[in-house]
Structure 1
Amino acid sequence: MNYENILSNTQNGLTTITINRPKKLNALNIETIQELHDALDAANKDKNTKVILVTGSGEKAFVAGADISEFADFDVEEGRKLAANGQELLFDFVENLATPVIAAVNGFALGGGLELAMACHFRVASDNAKMGLPEVSLGVIPGYGGTQRLPQLVGKGRAMEMVMTAGMIDAQTAKDYGLVNHVVSQEELLPLAEKIASKIMRNSSVAIKSAIKAINANYKDGVNGYKTEVKQFGKCFGTKDFTEGTTAFLEKRKADFPGE
Structure 2
Amino acid sequence: MSHDTYQTLRMSQEDGVAYVTIDNPPINVLSVAVMTDLRRLLTTLAGDDTVRVIVFDSADSDFFLAHVDMTVTLEDLAGLMADLPEGVNVFQAVGEQLRRQPQVTIVKLAGKARGGGSEFVVAADMAFAAIDRAGLGQIEALMGIVPGGGSTQYLTERVGRNRALEVVLGADLFDAETAERYGWVNRAVPAHELDAFVDRLARNIAALPDGVVAAAKHAIVPGDHADGLARENDAWAGLVFRPATAHLMAAGLTHGAQTRDGEQDLEGLFRGLAG
Answering whether residue 215 of structure 2 is matched by residue 215 of structure 1, we say no
Distance in 2 between residues matched to 1:174 and 1:213, nearest whole Å: 27
Q: How does 1:1-260 map to 2 (within 5 A)?
A: 1=2, 2-23=5-26, 25-71=27-73, 84-88=89-93, 90-127=94-131, 128-204=133-209, 206-216=211-221, 219-220=223-224
Alpha carbons of structure 1 residues 205 and 158: separation in structure 2 relative to 1, 3 Å:
farther
TM-score by length of 1: 0.76
The answer for the alignment partner of 1:236 in structure 2 is: none
Offset at residue 27 of structure 1 (A): 1.1
The answer to whether the Cα contact below 8 Å between 1:17 and 1:39 also exists between their aligned partners in 2 is no
Matching residue's letter, 1:8: M
Alignment coverage as a number of residue pairs: 214
The answer for the alignment partner of 1:251 in structure 2 is: none
Alpha carbons of structure 1 residues 135 and 221: separation in structure 2 relative to 1, 3 Å:
closer
Q: Secondary structure at the match of 1:26?
A: coil
Q: Secondary structure at the match of 1:196?
A: helix
Q: Secondary structure at the match of 2:67?
A: coil
The answer for the alignment partner of 1:254 in structure 2 is: none
Matching residue's letter, 2:57: T
TM-score by length of 2: 0.72
The answer to whether the Cα contact below 8 Å between 1:96 and 1:212 also exists between their aligned partners in 2 is no
The answer to which of 120-129 and 201-210 deviates more is 201-210
Q: Secondary structure at the match of 1:69?
A: coil
Identity rate, percent: 28
The answer for the alignment partner of 2:229 in structure 1 is: none
The answer to which of 206-215 and 43-52 deviates more is 206-215
Query: CA offsets, 1:92-122, max 9 Å, x none?
Result: 0110111100011111011111100111101
Distance in 1 between residues matched to 2:209 and 2:25, nearest whole Å: 36
Offset at residue 85 of structure 1 (A): 2.3
Distance in 2 between residues matched to 1:37 and 1:45, nearest whole Å: 13
The answer to whether the Cα contact below 8 Å between 1:175 and 1:182 also exists between their aligned partners in 2 is yes
Distance in 2 between residues matched to 1:221 and 1:46, nearest whole Å: 27
Distance in 2 between residues matched to 1:205 and 1:33, nearest whole Å: 31
The answer to whether the Cα contact below 8 Å between 2:16 and 2:207 also exists between their aligned partners in 1 is no
Offset at residue 216 of structure 1 (A): 2.2
Higher relative contact order (CA 8 A, sep 6+): 2
Matching residue's letter, 2:212: A
Distance in 1 between residues matched to 2:205 and 2:140, nearest whole Å: 35
Structure 1 runs (4+) greater than 4 angstroms displaced? none
The answer to whether the Cα contact below 8 Å between 1:132 and 1:162 also exists between their aligned partners in 2 is yes
Distance in 1 between residues matched to 2:225 and 2:53, nearest whole Å: 28
Offset at residue 221 of structure 1 (A): 5.8
- Listed as ranges, the gaps of 5+ residues in structure 2 are 227-275
Matching residue's letter, 1:38: R
